[in-house]
Structure 1
């Protein structure tokens, strides 16, 4: 389950008593109160990715604050969780804190064969450092009609050739089964690509051959998208897919 979150400046509770002690709770603070880690553990689910959005390169609105991914053992476990009284008690904090959200039910898909992940980060031009650590680049995609698949494949061939030299890795690509909460838009895929640093990603972004492929193939293949740069606070995404 992939969750994009935009917080209210101040949480809005249906009942004043629901806010608990203190006043002026921010949306982010309300979401921290929600945090159903114990419930997820009970049903065999786990948070496999969490991070705050550092930059939003594509997609004007909403401007997202955080991205999370929860791995559930089955679809049924997610549905049954919604019926638990302890979950409902926690979820009121989530509702109070969120200005907007997308919750998308997803399954892992096999990325195209390529050479990403073959270059060690110690050997790249821009390795991770204390001031510029690993960066997850998240693409939320709805494809255009027509030849989108062929165009995206052509773009990926060019982009992979550049990104591989800079240490890029695919942490996980997901097909969207359905949007459980959203604004009515349909989405096709969510992609998580990990770079050793922001400098490494920006070098790929500025590469002339990649830019040419973007103009010729990527832009025409996509009907709607967000591109989010996220500094991971929790990241076991790749391992969770490999162990599935």
Structure 2
């Protein structure tokens, strides 16, 4: 399962950019024994969020889902706001961030990283 964005996915995200801030929904499933590595990643990633003007809006453990198919439960949910999509792309391309992001990659067995656009912004009718 993929846990890191690909260059193709990042290019598409930038191509679809409606402008303005982007809020990233992070759904993560830990690999066996992966939580400590993810916690270390999180501690180190905070500095990069500050450097790029991003803000962690929420982080919490997943609980038993009320509505979901089998396999759609997640160990943790994080919501992070970035000034814009280009800033997110620059952060993940930062060589120092890439060193830290290895901790995230090894910690996870599965992930969803979903850029979101606020309602009321550019939307197809």
* TM-score scaled by length of structure 1: 0.40
* 1:228 equivalent among 101, 114, 117: 114
Structure whose alpha-carbon radius of gyration is higher: 1
Q: Deviations over 1:51-77 (max 9, x none)?
A: xxxxxx48xxxxxxxxxxxxxxxxxxx
Partner of residue 187, structure 1:
74
Q: Deviations over 1:18-52 (max 9, x none)?
A: xxxxxxxxxxxxxxxxxxxxxxxxxxxxxxxxxxx
* 2:29 equivalent among 132, 135, 142: 142
Structure 1 residue 192, shift from structure 2 partner? 0.5
Give the count of matched residue pairs: 104
Structure 1 residue 218, shift from structure 2 partner? 0.8
Provide the rounded CA distance (Å) in 2 between the counterparts of 1:207 and 1:152.
Answer: 19
Provide the rounded CA distance (Å) in 2 between the counterparts of 1:210 and 1:163.
Answer: 10
Contact 1:162–1:207 (CA<8 Å) still a contact in 2?
Answer: no
Provide the rounded CA distance (Å) in 1 between the counterparts of 2:61 and 2:40.
Answer: 19
Q: Deviations over 1:144-194 (max 9, x none)?
A: 111x22211221233221221111111112322112222311311111100
Q: Deviations over 1:103-132 (max 9, x none)?
A: xxxxxxxxxxxxxxxxxxxxxxxxxxxx62
Provide the rounded CA distance (Å) in 2 between the counterparts of 1:156 and 1:176.
Answer: 17
- Identify unmatched segments of 5+ residues in structure 2: 7-17, 121-125
**Which runs of 4 or more aligned residues in structure 1 lie more than 3 Å from their structure 2 counterparts after TM superposition?**
none
Provide the rounded CA distance (Å) in 1 between the counterparts of 2:66 and 2:29.
Answer: 16
1:65-84 alignment, distance < 5 Å:
none
Structure 1 residue 226, shift from structure 2 partner? 0.5
Partner of residue 62, structure 1:
none
Partner of residue 20, structure 2:
133
Q: Is residue 158 from structure 1 mapped to residue 44 from structure 2 by the alignment? A: yes
RMSD, aligned CA? 1.9
* TM-score scaled by length of structure 2: 0.73
Relative contact order (alpha carbons < 8 A, sep ≥ 6): 1 or 2 greater?
2
Partner of residue 169, structure 1:
55
